[in-house]
Amino acid sequence: MPTSTSGYTATHLTNAHFLAFFDPRAVVVVGASSHPGKFGFVALHNILAGGFSGRVYATNLERETVLNIETVVSVDELPNGEIDLAIICTPASTNSSILKSCAAKGIKAVFITSAGYGEAGESGLKAQQELMLLAESLGLLIAGPNGQGVVSTPSKLCAQIVAPYPPPGSIGIASQSGNFVSSFQNWAVGSGVGISRAVSAGNAAMVTVADYLSFYADDPATTVGLAYVEGIADGRAFAERARIVAAKMPLVLVKGGATEGGQAAAQSHTGALASNDKVFDGMCRQVGVNRAATVEEAFEAAATFATQPLLKGPNVVVLTTAGGWGVVTADAITNDRHLQLMALPDDLLKLIDTKLPPRWSRSNPVDLAGAETRETIPEVMEILAAHPDVHAIVYLGLGIQSNQAKFERNGGFFPNNGLERIVDFHERQDARYARAAHDLSVNYSKPILTATELGVCDPSNPGPAMVRETGRLCYPSANRAVTSLAHLYRRQRYLDRRADGNN
């Protein structure tokens, strides 16, 4: 599929091109189809279904009405100077003349979904290079070809040939594989932590993943970059671009082809070069890129950067309502090379003693041991968050009472047997705890990560549901929360070590 070894480098692109691409005033789908199985149908459908804020045009050789849009036969029939972005879903052979028509109408950016270019052998590569030279002479930005499209939530733009349309947020995605754009967006839908921009670079004949990331770095809508790459033709150039991006915002990256088996797959997939993975890894460490091992780790790290305060030091405290979870979390923190399972100082112990009966753990993890009353969890959480030595909290046990409440609601004895009050109480309390985790984190400017599998297993549980409502990620396990914390701290250390200027 996509290849970044196009043999062409653009020199004419400006920020205005990228603004036209991500925030177009109006869009045209070239090659709209009435057949729901065609890209030209799906692209138009998704733009309309996403609720794009500008006007939508479409071309169709038969002048069919598609999804209530009255099409025109050619771009030549469209108004002048009104449309910024064209999504091209036509066969490769027709695209040169379409580009000329687009430029004549004042269109500045074009996404080409068509295949048959750099990924399709020597003749395809030649056609791709010729098309790029033509586009440059016309002053056009070309995304793709052979990509799945672009999403931009500030403009409610869902110009892609796949679902889903993600919730709005501040994560900017750029990927060499269109399917990973979908994967990340599925995680965004599932978690509620949203996306600003997302683009599938396709063959990246003119605009590369590094170019999109560079735009995101200065984009007010984007606070975190999230990238998937396989092969990089010019590693040095990529490293220098990534360094500049990562100096401005966190940049999380997953690389496919990390193993010999993966590299063989990537060769056939991208035609791009694969390098020693340890060299790539070292490059990431050197330029401040947060490399993630898996797609879910990458999304969760990006979501953490997007929604949690900075982690200013290594000291983590675990707050748990049950022992086993705390033990496993303590292991995860201890196994990390840089995070610390903080030993609780005396003043902190004494403060917690005022809120709990003597049977509490009196160590980290802070195990409430079932001793909590109505106010205990928010109060102890605040004592921890307020302590100057504590840098982050992992909170475990959210939603268990609501889980029981749900069973009681559905167990055939409700609403009687005195269940209503207790069910209501538990559901209200879990929502309160989740709200407290958010509010205290904001007030004290410290990460507080809530982890429970209920976030995945029963997202309707009032605990995880409130985590989502506060805009944050409910981590599916404590281990994954700790991995995300490690990403926050890795970046903080990178920045701190270079803050004195001797980088």
Q: Shortest distance, CB of residue 484 to another protein, whole angstroms?
A: 20
Residue with tokens 């849009």: 69
Nearest-angstrom CA–CA distance, 446 and 309:
6
**x-or-dash string of contact with another protein, 73-112, rule CB under 8 A:** ----------------------------------------
Decide whether 412 or 499 has the Cβ nearer to another protein.
499
By CB under 8 A, residue 121 contacts another protein: no
Q: Shortest distance, CB of residue 281 to another protein, whole angstroms?
A: 7
Decide whether 231 or 447 has the Cβ nearer to another protein.
231
By CB under 8 A, residue 276 contacts another protein: yes
Nearest-angstrom CA–CA distance, 1 and 177:
8
Sheet containing 26-30: order of strands: 55-59, 26-30, 85-88, 109-112, 141-143
Q: Shortest distance, CB of residue 55 to another protein, whole angstroms?
A: 44
> Interacting stretch for another protein, rule CB under 8 A, among 30-38, 126-134, 275-283, 476-484?
275-283
Are residues 166 and 187 in contact, defined by beta-carbon separation less than 8 angstroms?
no
Which DSSP letter does residue 388 get?
T
Q: Would you call 411 helix, strand, or coil by DSSP? A: coil
Q: Characterize the bridge pairing of strands 149-152 and 157-160.
A: antiparallel
Nearest-angstrom CA–CA distance, 216 and 150:
14
Are residues 183 and 236 in contact, defined by beta-carbon separation less than 8 angstroms?
no
- In 114-249, the DSSP E strands lie at 141-143, 149-152, 157-160, 168-175, 195-200, 224-229
Q: Shortest distance, CB of residue 334 to another protein, whole angstroms?
A: 14
Cα 430 from chain centroid (whole Å): 27
By CB under 8 A, residue 233 contacts another protein: yes
**x-or-dash string of contact with another protein, 472-501, rule CB under 8 A:** -------------------------xx---
Nearest-angstrom CA–CA distance, 491 and 415:
51
Q: What type of residue sits at position 138? A: L
Decide whether 219 or 336 has the Cβ nearer to another protein.
336
Burial (CB count within 10 angstroms: exposed 0-12, middle 13-18, buried 19+), residue 499: exposed
Tell me how crowded residue 255 is: count the other CB atoms within 10 A of its CB.
25
Decide whether 282 or 388 has the Cβ nearer to another protein.
282
Q: Shortest distance, CB of residue 279 to another protein, whole angstroms?
A: 5
Task: Indicate which single residue of 64, 76, 281, 331 sits in contact with another protein (rule: CB under 8 A).
Answer: 281
By CB under 8 A, residue 502 contacts another protein: yes
**x-or-dash string of contact with another protein, 316-355, rule CB under 8 A:** ---------------------x------------------
Decide whether 276 or 460 has the Cβ nearer to another protein.
276
> Interacting stretch for another protein, rule CB under 8 A, among 269-277, 290-298, 312-320, 441-449?
269-277
Q: Would you call 386 helix, strand, or coil by DSSP? A: helix
Task: Indicate which single residue of 159, 198, 232, 449 sits in contact with another protein (rule: CB under 8 A).
Answer: 232
- In 95-249, the DSSP E strands lie at 109-112, 141-143, 149-152, 157-160, 168-175, 195-200, 224-229
By CB under 8 A, residue 246 contacts another protein: no
Please give the residues from 396 up to 415 whose contact with another protein meets the rule CB under 8 A.
none
List interacting residues with another protein (CB under 8 A).
232-236, 239, 273, 275-276, 278-283, 285-286, 337, 497-498, 502-503
